[in-house]
Amino acid sequence: MKMLALVIISMFTTLILSNCSQGWSVGNLALTPEDTSFMVVIDQDSAIHHYQNPAYLGKDSWCVDHNQWEIVRKK
């Protein structure tokens, strides 16, 4: 029980000290749009897809939003 309390306290302390108040952060380093390498595609039905660069036309590309491989086509 004492160990569980220590783990909870350390997790709570970590969350407080690494507060991410504006945007994303990794290891207390703030990420800006210039730091990321994603290509944003808006589908015909207004669905938004974020692909890891580069997204190849006619080939499988990893969609970060849907967590699956998708074929990107230009119409």
DSSP states of 16-29 as a string? HHT---SS-EETTE
Q: Is the pLDDT of residue 10 over 70?
A: yes
DSSP structural state of residue 59: S
Q: Is the pLDDT of residue 17 over 70?
A: no
Position 10, amino acid:
S
**Residues 6 or more apart whose Cβ sits within 8 Å of residue 30:** 22, 23, 24
pTM over 0.75: no
Query: Rounded CA gap, 25 and 32, in Å?
Result: 9
Tell me what the mean pLDDT of segment 32-56 comes to: 77
51 band by pLDDT with thresholds 50, 70 and 90: confident
Helix, strand, coil % in the chain, rounded to nearest 5: 20, 30, 45
Beta bridge partners of 52: 38
Q: What are the sequence ranges of the domains in the chain?
A: 35-75
Lowest mean pLDDT among 10-19, 22-31, 36-45: 22-31
